Amino acid sequence: MTETRKPLLATLLGEATWPPPVWLMRQAGRFLPEFRALREKADFLTRCMTPDMAVDITLQPIRRFGMDGAILFSDILILPWAMGQSLDFVPGRGPVLGPVRSQADLERLDPGRVTKAIEPVMETLQRLRRIVDGPEAIGPARPGQVTLIGFAGAPFTVACYMVEGHGSREFEETRRLAYTDPAFFDRLIDLLTTATADMLCAQIEAGAEAVMLFDSWSGLLPPSQFRRHVIEPARRITEIIRSRHPGTPVIGFPRLGGLMAIEYGHQTGVNAMALDTGADMKAVAAQVPDTLVLQGNLDPIRVLAGGEGMRAEARAIRDAMKGRPHVFNLGHGVIPATPPEHVGDLIKTIRDV
């Protein structure tokens, strides 16, 4: 009998499958020539908000490489934009937002606008789910084996962009504000916690089979702030999702959390935890509950470099996790300069057991 459950979904629900399922953060992106071609036709927000394009971009990496997971093509900044914050993706500079730094700025945001604003995203998910569950194979992926992943930014990481107004290495303004006006910062995190949970539930209702919470900047926080702005919101979001959609796994990604990631794994209730490149997977596995699925964590630069070094390191991570539910992935997103052949070689290496 062949598998009836999708390998990635089964693993996220706690089954140890061999070889492990594989997908890559930022698998739909600039390293693919077919993605760059669409980029010339429409700006980033238009691509996110046009179901024809978003469906196509989501499936581009699956058609080429047949990953086990298809992650919705969208962005973590769609949520603040849907609540009314101005957002522009400026080529060469990244996202630019009208900063939210005062109670008055906060009051101008309206979570009531989100459902309507993200209707195209919901349509994208509905169409994607019909395609992944349809009778036709998507490239080398077998029919009915691809899991559809929805996602959101975690409250702290989204707050970083909302307060700072743009990307940054340090997000000094955001972290300063969390200390000088903790009541304001708590209200912002609270608003984002509820809005994020609601949006992820809407994604699940539209067809997402698993959801991931990206906390890319959580590693900037000291322990007390990490507990308050990273662990507690992730715990609440997971609790809300589980109460409404008990069978849908949640993946948390407390990037650069170091030792605090261990606490995150114990306290938040997420089904799976994605680890960044710096984590020793096996050491983490020994310190978290066996029921916590781990995802990760090959260095994206290894894939940029390719060759036998990449294959050996990928096998070492895969083999170290044998017997435990593990989802193979990178420690962060695919680098735009990565040759697509290296990604193909990586997927093949993971599956070749």
Binding residues (CB under 6 A) for ligand CP3: these are: 25-29, 39, 44, 71, 73-77, 89, 94-95, 151, 157, 167, 214, 216, 333
Cα 303 to Cα 314: distance, rounded to the nearest angstrom: 9
Q: How far is the CB of 151 from ligand CP3 (least distance, A)?
A: 5
Compute the distance between CA of residue 34 and CA of residue 163 in angstroms, rounded to an integer.
34
Q: Which is nearer to ligand CP3, 92 or 246 (CB)?
A: 92
Write down the least CB distance from residue 98 to ligand CP3, Å.
16
Cα maximum dimension of the chain:
61
27 known ligand binder: yes
Whole-Å CA distances, 276 to 71, 153, 160, 214? 18, 16, 19, 11
DSSP assigned state of 112? G
Q: State the nearest-atom distance from the C-beta of 61 to ligand CP3, in Å.
A: 7
Distances (CA, A) of 284 to 154, 222, 265, 299: 21, 20, 9, 17
Residue nearest to ligand CP3 (CB): 216
> Cα(187)–Cα(348) distance, rounded to whole angstroms?
46
Q: Give the catalytic positions in this structure.
A: 26, 30, 39, 75, 161
The residue among 158 and 292 lying less far from ligand CP3, judged by its C-beta, is 158
Q: How far is it, in rounded angstroms, from Cα 275 to Cα 349?
A: 20
Q: Binding residue per annotation — 29? A: yes
Find the shortest distance in angstroms from Cβ 234 to ligand CP3: 14
Tokens 């959101």 found at: 152
Nearest residue (CB) to ligand CP3, 1 versus 328 = 328
30 is in an annotated binding site: yes
- Is residue 103 classed as helix, strand or coil in its secondary structure? helix
Label each residue of 213-279 as H, E or C: EEECCHHHCCHHHHHHHHHHHHHHHHHHHHHHCCCCCEEEEECCCCHHHHHHHHHCCCCEEECCCCC
Helix axes 307-320, 340-351, angle to 10 degrees: 40
54 marked ligand binding residue: no
Angle (CA) 187-192-195 rounded to 5° is 125
In whole angstroms, the minimum distance from the beta carbon of 138 to ligand CP3 comes to 15
Q: What share of the chain is helix, strand, coil (3-state, %, to 5)?
A: 50, 15, 35
Smallest distance, ligand CP3 to C-beta of residue 147, A: 14
Q: Cβ 75 to ligand CP3, closest distance in Å?
A: 4
Residue 198, annotated as binding a ligand = no
State which residue, 65 or 73, has the beta carbon closest to ligand CP3.
Answer: 73
Residue that is written with structure tokens 């809300």 in the block: 240
Nearest to 328 by CA among 340, 339, 313, 341: 313
Residue 306, marked binder: no
Residues sharing a CB contact under 8 Å with residue 163, sequence separation 6 or more, in sequence order:
99, 100, 101, 171, 173, 174, 177, 188
The residue (of 6 and 47) whose beta carbon lies closer to ligand CP3 is 47
Q: Is 107 exposed, middle or buried (0-12, 13-18, 19+ CB in 10 A)?
A: exposed
- The answer to whether 252 is a known ligand-binding residue is no
Nearer to ligand CP3, 14 or 258 (CB): 258
Rank residues 14 and 344 by Cβ distance to ligand CP3 and give the closer one. Answer: 344
Binding site per annotation, positions: 26-30, 75, 161, 216, 332
Per the annotation, binding residues for substrate are 26-30, 75, 161, 216, 332
